[in-house]
Structure formats: structure tokens, C-alpha cells
Amino acid sequence: MGLRTFVFVVVLLGFVLSFLEFCNGGITSSFVRSVNYSLDMPLDADVFRVPPGYNAPQQVHITQGDHVGKGVIITWITPDEPGSSTVIYWAENSDLKNYATGTVLKYKYFDYTSGYIHHCTITDLEFDTKYYYEIGTGNATRHFQFVTPPEVGPDVPYTFGLIGDLGQTYDSNRTLTHYELNPTKGHTVLFVGDLSYADDYPFHDNNRWDTWERFIERNAAYQPWIWTAGNHEIDFAPALGEPIPFKPFSYRFHVPYRASGSTSPFWYSIKRASAYVIVMSSYSAFGKYTPQYKWLKNEFPKVNRTETPWLIIIMHCPMYNSYVHHFMEGETMRVMYEKWFVEYKVDAVFAGHVHAYERSERVSNIRYNIVNGLCMPISDQSAPVYITIGDGGNLEGLATSMTEPQPSYSAFREASFGHGILDIKNRTHAYFGWHRNQDGYAVEADSLWLLNRFWKQSERASS
């Protein structure tokens, strides 16, 4: 063998080995699930029923109302007239009833006119306390309850549910039921976008917002859902005379964005127990000098990991995705912000958009620039785990086509509907499990122990 041939063989072998290292990924599940598209539940299904009584409050849901968890925003709709905007609330084991009055909004979208949308913010609640609340009047009065989180602290255990791309199909109902009956009870849902899919119906039928909100009320009226806007919330339809993006979503879902210094409800942050949750908007401007960019640049340094050790990001479009559907759509945001995720040692990034499940290895691709050719992700223990959980069960069905071979950044992927549970134990350990709808309520189809990025590094430094 001549020298030139030998050099060629060595170079070729090195290329092949590096290719295999990049392309040989983790597990692609062999689980066989139904390939049928999701079917919408009929409009007369029990989950869509209107509560009895004239002008009875409906579509009740709550979310966090301040930055630290001592506030709650309660939202409901009265269909016939404004009625009362007052919430009566009281703590368990207390006879003292408190009153708070909210605002009333209404909107039109094409040929649809909404009911009267009430938003009432309650503040200065006690931590770790059960509260009862009452809305409506007379025979149409309705009662609900919620529990505030424990006081913010580094070793406070807390459990989040993860749901995305839900819709209002039979599979959607199975997902929500599975979450409700999971023996590891979630206290708050981190919802990663794409709610009702109203824009998938003729003329963006906003009646489908009403049915969806009545569907989720059985859970969302009792525990906070932290909202992320997805592409199906844009509702941009100039041909219908609707040129304002996010119009129905903005009227129906209020969030405490001002409490974190944000100028928009589409990006904001909250503290809850030992977690600091940052909500990002995949469908708002996020380039350099934009409002979202400026806010995030100031937000990351504010996170005190000795107070809230778990830094979690939720967004809609995934940055790492090995499915054919929506492949590389998150690349521009990844290029923009991944370096901050690594610098500030984000623990996990949850996204939706792809109607399937996927979990990544801890990787980053921040070495790359336009001239150095280092365009493949590498193992990076300062990087977050990226989890795609856009598998709630909507009418568009599952994303079953995957890129092959499975890339090295992909640890586990499966095209099934389900939900996730993030169970934070203390400042150093949290446990994530993914539950597919076809399994028993306690079965985990995929799971992972998360070691906190900040405290893991701190322990290494001290030792």
C-alpha cells in the first residue's frame, strides 16, 4: 500500500468513525401504537357540558398570579351577561371570607362573539395552604379549591405535570385522565403550547375555544396551568379580517408577566417552590435587540440558584428534534440562546410542537461558527436535557416519521400520546417520567434522574 493510499484510508476511516459517533443515537422505541388519526370527541360529550343555571360561570381555570406563588389568577366566562366579577375565597380551617373583584373582557373573531371573560387576581395568599373559592351568583354559584405552593426554598420538593399540544380528541381525554390518575400527583401543569386547535376548524371556529376550556376545567380550575403560546395560538387570519396575532389567546389567558419585568405575556418567569421557570415565545421576535432578547438577557443573571436551584425553560418549538416533522424549525432560536442555556446551567428545556415524545442527551452545539466546521453536537454536562412532549393527543395525530439513523443527541424517542411528570426531590435530585396513554397509570415508558447542573458543579468544586 502506497503512502498516498494509506493516508486516504486513514482519513476515510476517521470520517466514518466520526460519522458513526454522531449518528449512532439512543433508543427508538419499538412499541406499537395505533396509527389512526385522533378523533374529536362529539360536541355532546360530557367533558364539554355547560354547567346548569342561568349564566353559570364556565371554562374556569387558574394560573400563578405573581412571581413567587402567593398569587392566583382565576379566569372564567359567563355566557349570557357579565354577571358578578367577584371571587369569594377563604383558607381551609378559617371562617374569614375574602373578596376580590376582577375585570371583564369580550372579543369578536370573524363571525364569533365571545362570552364575558372574567380575570380576577388574588394576591398575598399564605404559602402551602388550601383555599376554597366561589364564583357566580344565586343558583348558578360554583365552588372550587386550590393549594398554594410551599414557600420558595432550595430543598422544597414539588411536582410538575408536563402536557403539550392537547386538543380535544378522545386521545386528549385519555392524556388528561392519565395525568389526573397518575399516583405521582402533579401540583401544577407546565403547558408547552398548542391548546385548543381552534384554528384547525373552518374559519378558526372560536366555539372550539369554549369547548376546550370546558374540557380542561376539571383539572385547570383546581391547579395552576402555566401557559406557553404555540403556533396554533397565533390565529393570524387576514383573509377573515383578523390581522392581530394571538387575539383569542390574549383575551382568554392572562399570566403574571409584569411581575418578572416582562413587557409581553408571551415571555415571563415564575418561581414555584424550588424551581425557577422561564417561559419563552417561539413565535414572537427573539433576535438580538428585540424585547424578548433584552428581557432574557437581564433575566438569566437574576436567577439565584441557592434559592431556586432548578432552572427550567418551557417553549413550544424544540431546539433538538430528530423527527421529520418540524425538523430543524428550532434551529434559529437554538443558535441565538443555547449559549445562555449552557452558561447558566439550565437543568431542562421542555417543548412541544412535534406530536411525539423525545428526550435528548446533555449536548450543546455552541462550538460552531461559520468557518470552523464544528457543526455536530457534542456531550456537554453544563447543557440541559431537552424533552419534547407535544404528545397530548390533538386531531392532527402522531408524528411517526423519524430521521434515520437516530442522531447521537437523541437518547429516547417514541411516537405515542402521553404526559410527563417532573418530581423535584431536593436541590440536587429530580426525577422525570414519561407516561404513555396505553399503559397503566403508574407505568413509565421512559424515565431519568436529573442531577442539578448548578449544585453538581458546586459539589465538584468544593471536593
Residues carrying an active site annotation: 326
Residue 454 one-letter amino acid: F
How many Cβ atoms are within 10 Å of 98's Cβ, its own excluded? 15
Kindly provide the b/e burial profile for residues 24-47, where b requires at least 16 CB atoms within 10 angstroms of the residue's own CB.
ebbebeeeeeeeeebebbeeeeeb
In this structure, what DSSP letter does residue 458 have? Answer: H
Look at residue 156 and give its three-state secondary structure.
coil
How many Cβ atoms are within 10 Å of 97's Cβ, its own excluded? 11
- Indicate the pairing of strand 446-451 with strand 429-436: antiparallel
- CA nearest to 147, candidates 196, 183, 185: 185
- Indicate the pairing of strand 410-414 with strand 86-91: unpaired
Can you name the residues that pair with 423 across neighbouring β-strands?
159, 431
Look at residue 12 and give its three-state secondary structure.
helix
- Report the helix count and the strand count for the chain, using DSSP H and E: 7, 26
Taking a C-beta distance cutoff of 8 angstroms, is the pair 130, 92 a contact?
yes
Taking a C-beta distance cutoff of 8 angstroms, is the pair 296, 289 a contact?
no
461 exposure class (CB count in 10 Å sphere: 0-12, 13-18, 19+):
exposed
